[in-house]
Structure 1
Amino acid sequence: MSVSPAVDAWSAEGSALADGRRVGVLLCHGFTGSPASVRPWGERLAEEGYAVAVPRLPGHGTSWQDMNTTTWQQWYGEVERAFDTLLEDCDSVVVGGLSMGATLSLLLAADRGPEVSGLVSVNVSIDNKDPRRFAAPVIKRLMGSFPGIADDIKKPGVSEHGYDRLPLKAAHELLRLYRHLRPLLPQVTQPLLVVRSAEDHVADPGSHDLLLRSVSSRDVTEVVLEDSFHVATLDNDAPRIEKESAAFVARVTAGPS
């Protein structure tokens, strides 16, 4: 199935910084969303001279039926591929993401250790207390989808170009991703910028607390957004995310003085 340019992967080559180093940033979109949800964020970081990669995760940007044929390993594999491509040309790479994109970024940080220079998490999703989760293996065989979760955005007239249905087989894969990641969170030691919306109608509120008490990072900065919902990267506080993350990337990738 063809992919609209509005929801396809996006990248910027970047340029060498004043001291000759090249810095890369990998940004990942969320579950049933698309690169459109984080592309403006990436474009702002590209203006700082950073090389930026915004991959389109398998099953996203086409149809929810397509997504029901994918696995979390495929989503993560695309994130690793984009990360390795940045590493080929950059001296340092920071990873970040929105919702499930932050989940996958955490897994990458746990797996790749010092290759990841820092991590930006926006409204992370690593926990789910919905009682229907226990029935997911059965429900996914009886129904193809539930009503969608896209576009939880306070700002009027803005869309992340996600699916209007939540594919249930893929949702079960998301639960498997959570179970795989949670025991690995103590392996996350990188500097961490944690951004969360005070009002979020998608991510389980326990995700933020679980993240903070589980990682081993000593350099942790928290930012609370008061004027955005879940897709904060397109919401009223997007400029703050862009400003805070640009400063964070500059700090954690700074060369020796």
Structure 2
Amino acid sequence: MIKKYDFLLPGTSRIGVLLIHGLTGTPAEMRGVARELNQAGHTVYAVQLAGHCGSVDDLIATRWQDWYQSVINGAQKLRQQVDHLVVGGLSMGAVLALKYASDFPVDSVLVYSATFRYDGWSIPPLSRFAAPWLLPLAGCFHLGRHRLFNEKEPYGIRNESLRRRIAKSMQEGDSGVAGLPGNPWPSLSQMMALSRNVRRALPQVTAPCLVLHAENDDIAHRRNALLVRDNVSGEVALTLLKNSYHMITIDNDRTELIALTLGFIQQQSEAKNNREPAALRLHTTLSTPA
């Protein structure tokens, strides 16, 4: 069942791409990338994570396992329509994509602005260093249930006109368009638990990974990208983008991101075809409708 803000774009190739948004985010942050991938022939499904695109209460009623189950359900839906699956995500969505790739076979992984820790330059030093022990403690004792770490300038966006539009949408309260205006403490605690789980699982990721990260990410320092590069078992193509902040799927470098993504998917598809036995490739070609 497609949720209100999910969207599925059927393609003509047998490659499917599952796109996953970030914490307090929305599938809309993946729409531009999804359209370009779809125009290249791929079937694209942008999933709405459990508890998202609603109220703060909706979000804090869910745990990271619920968010991950949304990814599993989305992948199952997409696998019914394609032969090859690519999983990708932005921010926490990238962490969820890596989690899925550590548990299930995938063709490749798109890792955009991976966020294991909120340690970018816009995060106050006190929050940066206190959060790792304060939030789990608050979660254990159910403290600060309705407290938020509010979003502040520059909202992960370097493009000033786009930043103004996103800020306006957040202030108007449409979480399905721009996400929530802040991160609830309980949800951040869940995000940290997810991060710990996936960090341990990174060596189990054997699929090739495209890792894209802003060089001057305001939310998650580029060391988050290096963590992926240095710990997954699959091949890694890493690029640091020069003219964006955290939201690289919609910011100034989105054209470069899309070009790198399309090239990576094509390269991995060609490499996979070259590794297949010739008889299997012939059978696949003959059995595919024109």
**TM-score (structure 1 length as normaliser):** 0.89
Cα shift at 1:246: 0.8
Match runs of 1:150-165 below 5 Å: 151-158=155-162, 159=166, 161-165=178-182
Matched, 1:130 2:129: yes
Match runs of 1:81-92 below 5 Å: 81-92=73-84
Q: Could you tell me how far apart the structure 1 residues matched to 2:75 and 2:136 are? A: 32
Q: Is the 8 A contact 1:148 1:163 kept in 2?
A: no
Match for residue 19 of structure 1?
none
Matched AA of 1:116: V
Cα shift at 1:148: 2.7
SS at match of 2:178: coil
Q: Which has more radius of gyration?
A: 2
Q: Could you tell me how far apart the structure 2 residues matched to 1:205 and 1:51 are? A: 30
SS at match of 1:27: strand
Q: Is the 8 A contact 1:152 1:231 kept in 2?
A: yes
Q: Could you tell me how far apart the structure 1 residues matched to 2:205 and 2:273 are? A: 23
Higher-helix-fraction structure: 2
Q: Is the 8 A contact 2:216 2:222 kept in 1?
A: no
Matched AA of 2:238: E
Q: Could you tell me how far apart the structure 1 residues matched to 2:116 and 2:193 are? A: 10
Matched, 1:210 2:227: yes
**TM-score (structure 2 length as normaliser):** 0.79
**Residues 6-53 of structure 1, C-alpha deviation per residue, up to 9 Å, x if partnerless?**
xx111101113xxxxx11001111111111111111111000110000
Q: Could you tell me how far apart the structure 2 residues matched to 1:147 and 1:136 are? A: 11
Match for residue 118 of structure 1?
108
Match for residue 209 of structure 2?
192
Deviates more, 1:205-214 or 1:40-49: 205-214
Q: Could you tell me how far apart the structure 2 residues matched to 1:256 and 1:199 are? A: 37
**Residues 127-162 of structure 1, C-alpha deviation per residue, up to 9 Å, x if partnerless?**
356322201134453321223348310112322702
Q: Could you tell me how far apart the structure 1 residues matched to 2:143 and 2:74 are? A: 35
Q: Is the 8 A contact 1:189 1:215 kept in 2?
A: yes
Match for residue 187 of structure 2?
170
Cα shift at 1:81: 0.8
Aligned length: 244
Instruction: Indicate which of 39, 44, 52 corresponds to 2:36.
Output: 44
Q: Could you tell me how far apart the structure 2 residues matched to 1:54 and 1:79 are? A: 10
For structure 1, which runs of at least 5 residues remain unmatched after alignment?
Answer: 17-21
Q: Is the 8 A contact 2:27 2:46 kept in 1?
A: yes
Match for residue 75 of structure 1?
67
Match for residue 241 of structure 1?
257
**Residues 70-108 of structure 1, C-alpha deviation per residue, up to 9 Å, x if partnerless?**
110110101111111111121111111111010000001
Deviates more, 1:201-210 or 1:224-233: 201-210
Matched AA of 1:170: S
Q: Is the 8 A contact 1:127 1:206 kept in 2?
A: no
SS at match of 1:43: helix
Q: Could you tell me how far apart the structure 2 residues matched to 1:59 and 1:202 are? A: 22
Q: Is the 8 A contact 1:155 1:228 kept in 2?
A: yes
Instruction: Indicate which of 233, 237, 243 corresponds to 1:227.
Output: 243
Cα shift at 1:242: 0.8
